[in-house]
Structure 1
Amino acid sequence: MSKPTPNHFIRSIAKNDLANGKHDYIYTRFPPEPNGYLHLGHAKSICLNFGLAEDLGGKCNLRFDDTNPEKESMEFVESIRDTVQWLGFEWDQLCFASDYYERLYQFALELVDKGLAYVDELTPDEMREYRGTLTEPGKNSPHRDRPADENRALFERMRAGEFNEGDYTLRAKIDMSSPNMVMRDPILYRVRYAHHYRAGDAWCIYPMYDFTHCISDALEGITHSLCTLEFQDNRELYDWILANITLEENLIGERGKLMPKQIEFGRSNLEYTLASKRKLIQLVTEGHVNGWDDPRLTTLVGLRRRGYTPQSIRDFCAEIGVTKKDATIEMTVLENAIRHDLEATAKRVFGVLNPLKLIITNYPEGQSETFTVKNHPKDDSMGTREIPFGREIYIDQDDFMLDPPSKFFRLGPGREVRLRYGYAVTCNEVITDDDGNVIELHCTYDPLTAKGQTPDGRKIKGIIHWVSAAHAVDAEVRVYDRLFKEPNPGAADDFVALLNPDSLHVYPDAKLEPSIKDADPETRFQFERVGYFCFDALDHTADKVIMNRTVSLRDTWAKHSGK
């Protein structure tokens, strides 16, 4: 069951804007740059923007901020579109900032003609020098007071491709002594000779994000422009640009009565992960992970491959909420979200990751039988399945010890345990190899103990899972854990040194019960007593079963890390 939509300060603002007639209805947007894959932080923004519109009967656009041609591609566009839909959201309009290039250029010319923008020749180093500091005002560029007609001519020549990259920029003419550094004549356009994945080579000047974003919001009739706290200082520039350009009334009149309003919310940083795109790129390019969809990453394609469900991601975002301050979220919040979802929805099966053969010596050779069991102990609607049983089975090596302690309630020499849903067995003989490793167990079973019965009333404390050797499905099982050993790897000078060497353990010879073979590839399972698993979406084929562990049955990290 989905968590109820929580109330938060942005939702309260939007509801009040509707109640007092400030807006006819809510219109939001999710504006990613198509230069990479989305991560968990983006999921919060997706759920906030689409969820707010959905809850209040409004609409939400998916808009690609594609103003940086060197790093953008249709590959990322398609991935982002697919991810938004996977999370269960649909956009009202699919928009691209590149669709507005001509209109943005005309708005820039308007600012030039009004004397509110100028073409500058300062180099990047000179621009930094002239900008000043947080305690000292900046200095005006020597080119700041060019006449408007000269600025227009230079800007038109920039567009015509007459200058080299870095020779000229178009800057807003605001206030070089402003206490807000963002307002010290920010760059609006720069020269870039780069092929654009949509516009081709039609442009050699590209607008900056701050200029593009607010105008795109206004052109689309966005009412509430939601962004993270890092853009708080940019809000003044957002409002300045919209206040100084001429927008046709019909552009905003259809969806709202006022210009869009920027509202900032706090970022949520998840422990033991990285959200920095630069650092994620380093992990991928240096081979520390196996691509952007590595299940150890909190990219949404990685989480999806690991078995996280859309509902669990949405529940996680609802749980952490929307606040006015940045926050650090414990990993257990994310893990508990998927446990909560899969506990109710995952089919139960048997999976033996590290198999040890067990031969029941008094069970008739060539004989087999089946046990009918529920797919979910609390949900009869999920049906039943047949588990085959025979003379030879596999148990997990962790369920046997040669010299077990008194509180080890599993199998050992002379000990009796119950095979879940099946018989009780007693270990009579242990077979080892030349190095003393246990390779096989010989046991006897009590035929009177089928289906949990114990006619003589004796107590059998241990219950273990198993798989029939004759019917087992061979599989490779990948068990993932946290990628980093420390909760805040991004703060370290060398975050690579904090990688967890045990973040991936591969079991190449796992044995699974046969019912798993016919399951839909999207099915999630609980391997009883082991954890939650799913088919690997990329490597799984009909001939090769590969499964990923989504999460353990309970949080064991704190215990293992000494917390």
Structure 2
Amino acid sequence: MTEPDTQGPTHFIGNRIRKELEAGQYQQIITRFPPEPNGYLHLGHAKSIALNFSVAEEFGGYTNLRFDDTNPAKEEQRYIDAIKEDVHWLGYAWKHERHASDYFEQLYEWALHLIDHGLAYVDSQDADTIRAQRGTLTEPGVESPFRNRPREESRDLFQRMRAGEFADGAHVLRAKIDMASGNINLRDPVIYRIRHLTHPRTGNQWCIYPSYDYAHGQSDAIEHITHSLCTLEFEDHRPLYDWLLAHLPVPSRPVQIEFSRLNLDYTVLSKRRLTRLVDEGHVSGWDDPRMPTLAGVRRRGFTPEAIRAFCAEIGVTKSDSIIPFGVLENALRNDLNERAPRTMAVLRPLKLVLTNFPEGETEWLEAAVHPQKPDMGTRRIAMSREIFIEADDFMEEAPKKFFRLKPGGEVRLRNAFIIRCDEVIKDADGQVVELRCTLDPDTRSGQPGANRKVKGTIHWVSAVHSVQAEVRLYDRLFQTPDPAGDKAVDFIEHLNLESLVVIPDARLEPETAQARPGESFQFERLGYFAADPDGTPERPVFNRAVTLRDTWAKIESQA
């Protein structure tokens, strides 16, 4: 066992654990991350992953990855595989991989223990009736007519439930606690249901399955978890968690501590809503780069380092709040600013002919891969007679403060020389299709006029050497900060119809086009982009991960 970190996390959970260790309550801190394998992990899970793994690591302990696979109706192996990939991608390693299904036999034996001690009974009412009898926050529940069923009868029925004698919904097993409790979770909760379904791991071995509330705490106890870290919606479930541990012969007594879940503006972090986005085709899948799933943000170009930095920045509290999406984006900017190589790309090409550049020749220029990191070396850039610039970098009738290219005006080509626009060529419809310019040879690097100043610098690529690419400009999936906040309006109505803009004929430096999927670059003056798996060397595809500046902050400040 590694020595505990004497500093440890500075949030309230870390402070509590530090005091517990100092008091000798624990020899080792053990946590767990317990996802349900019924969908992909999202950014809210990333906060929980970071907390569970960092707390254990910083105090010299370890974390288990445990799949809460108690509902075979929704669970699939592909989700298990995706979850493991996501946790690894975030940079965390678990000590043991466990599944709630590993403990089905023990959980069943403990359910019999509750029956034998008069603490559980088989209820033969249907689900709607049981639900109606639970009561409300102001009215107590109504006891089931089967609540005082003889223990022997409940035991026999429960064993026959396991044997598969009854149809789904014919019976349930309920804990016998207090139907008048102020906490609805203690009003004889259902802890086993009949479900004749094939389980991804146990096949058809079982046809009764434990509830999450029943399986979770006991699984923690079997694994000797010391701290069960949950989001605040489980705070009302803690009395049930503790009641079950207190009334069963479990090998350890974990404690549950709640913290606030992650809420981001302009998105939804409900698995139910995310599933709907996928199922109804509003996005291309769970890994659509607009989705707040870890698979989605990874494909978009987010780095694990940025997400971990974001989790550290927002901290761990018990107060619910909504974090601006811009905080997450800024964490990515900070990370990619340090690591992403620079390159030039033109998204909406406008042809420019350098009339005094020799026809058919190529001049090779040198530029830094990263301006602040000389150890990353230099890259070669091809200059030719015909180049492409951004269409937005030219304006025929330019306002006074337009410092890019205009008729008779001068700009510097990035990493090259100064040019002057001499002629504008238009098509039959009056659209600008070509610019004819002359270069100033004295403004090349090493020449007498190399330091001559002009107010504008624009990027470009060689028309001959550049590679055509598809570029996908992703933006926020919703156009309102709280898309699910108004219960009277379907959150789908708030979708941002311009959250994806596809540019089919962008042009890239040739080396950039050879990038591996997930490799990130700063397209100079445009933003940070990542190579998408859809691309090929002949037809690369790049996703915009984030702009160079937070344009939404300006929009929101003007609202």
2:260 to 251, 260, 266: 266
Is the 8 Å Cα contact of residues 518 and 532 (structure 2) preserved in structure 1?
no
Alignment gaps of 5+ in structure 2: 1-6
Matched, 1:142 2:145: yes
SS in 2 for 1:329: coil
Provide Cα deviations, 1:442-500, integer angstroms capped at 9, x if missing partner: 00001000138663975311100000111101100001011111000011322111111
Displacement, 1:6? 5.2
Per the normalisation by structure 1, the TM-score is: 0.96
1:313 to 301, 307, 313: 307
Is the 8 Å Cα contact of residues 9 and 15 (structure 2) preserved in structure 1?
no
Corresponding residue for 2:167? 164
Is the 8 Å Cα contact of residues 9 and 322 (structure 1) preserved in structure 2?
yes
CA separation of 1:367/1:456 partners in 2, compared to 1, >3 Å: closer, same or farther? Answer: closer
Please give the alpha-carbon distance, in whole angstroms, between the structure 1 residues aligned to 2:201 and 2:13: 34
Corresponding residue for 2:200? 197
Please give the alpha-carbon distance, in whole angstroms, between the structure 2 residues aligned to 1:521 and 1:198: 32
Corresponding residue for 1:182? 185
Matches within 5 A, 1:329-340: 329-340=323-334
Counterpart residue identity of residue 34, structure 2: P
Worse-superposed segment, 508-517 or 341-350: 508-517
Please give the alpha-carbon distance, in whole angstroms, between the structure 2 residues aligned to 1:152 and 1:457: 90
Corresponding residue for 2:524? 528
Counterpart residue identity of residue 559, structure 1: K
1:548 to 533, 537, 543: 543
Is the 8 Å Cα contact of residues 395 and 466 (structure 1) preserved in structure 2?
yes
Provide Cα deviations, 1:227-264, integer angstroms capped at 9, x if missing partner: 011111111111111111113xxx44xxxxxx100000
Is the 8 Å Cα contact of residues 444 and 450 (structure 2) preserved in structure 1?
no
2:40 to 37, 47, 52: 37
Worse-superposed segment, 552-561 or 311-320: 552-561
Counterpart residue identity of residue 197, structure 2: A
Please give the alpha-carbon distance, in whole angstroms, between the structure 2 residues aligned to 1:455 and 1:175: 88
1:505 to 492, 501, 505: 501
Please give the alpha-carbon distance, in whole angstroms, between the structure 2 residues aligned to 1:113 and 1:541: 64
Please give the alpha-carbon distance, in whole angstroms, between the structure 2 residues aligned to 1:168 and 1:59: 40
Is the 8 Å Cα contact of residues 6 and 318 (structure 1) preserved in structure 2?
no
Please give the alpha-carbon distance, in whole angstroms, between the structure 2 residues aligned to 1:223 and 1:33: 21
Corresponding residue for 1:128? 131
Corresponding residue for 2:4? none
Counterpart residue identity of residue 429, structure 1: E
2:426 to 420, 428, 432: 432
SS in 2 for 1:122: coil
CA separation of 1:350/1:92 partners in 2, compared to 1, >3 Å: closer, same or farther? Answer: same
SS in 2 for 1:279: helix
Alignment gaps of 5+ in structure 1: 253-258
Per the normalisation by structure 2, the TM-score is: 0.96
Provide Cα deviations, 1:293-345, integer angstroms capped at 9, x if missing partner: 11011111000000000000101111111101221000110000000000000
Provide Cα deviations, 1:376-403, integer angstroms capped at 9, x if missing partner: 0001111111111111111000100010
Please give the alpha-carbon distance, in whole angstroms, between the structure 2 residues aligned to 1:200 and 1:319: 43
Matches within 5 A, 1:280-359: 280-359=274-353
Displacement, 1:15? 1.4
SS in 2 for 1:317: helix
Is the 8 Å Cα contact of residues 33 and 48 (structure 2) preserved in structure 1?
yes
CA separation of 1:457/1:420 partners in 2, compared to 1, >3 Å: closer, same or farther? Answer: closer
Provide Cα deviations, 1:80-137, integer angstroms capped at 9, x if missing partner: 0000000000000000000100000000000000010000012222212221111111
Matched, 1:231 2:227: no
How many residue pairs get aligned? The number is 550
Counterpart residue identity of residue 475, structure 2: D
Identity %: 57
SS in 2 for 1:357: strand
Please give the alpha-carbon distance, in whole angstroms, between the structure 2 residues aligned to 1:49 and 1:437: 59
Displacement, 1:517? 3.0
Counterpart residue identity of residue 263, structure 2: N
Matches within 5 A, 1:89-104: 89-104=92-107
Corresponding residue for 1:377? 371
Please give the alpha-carbon distance, in whole angstroms, between the structure 1 residues aligned to 2:458 and 2:300: 26
Please give the alpha-carbon distance, in whole angstroms, between the structure 1 residues aligned to 2:451 and 2:14: 60
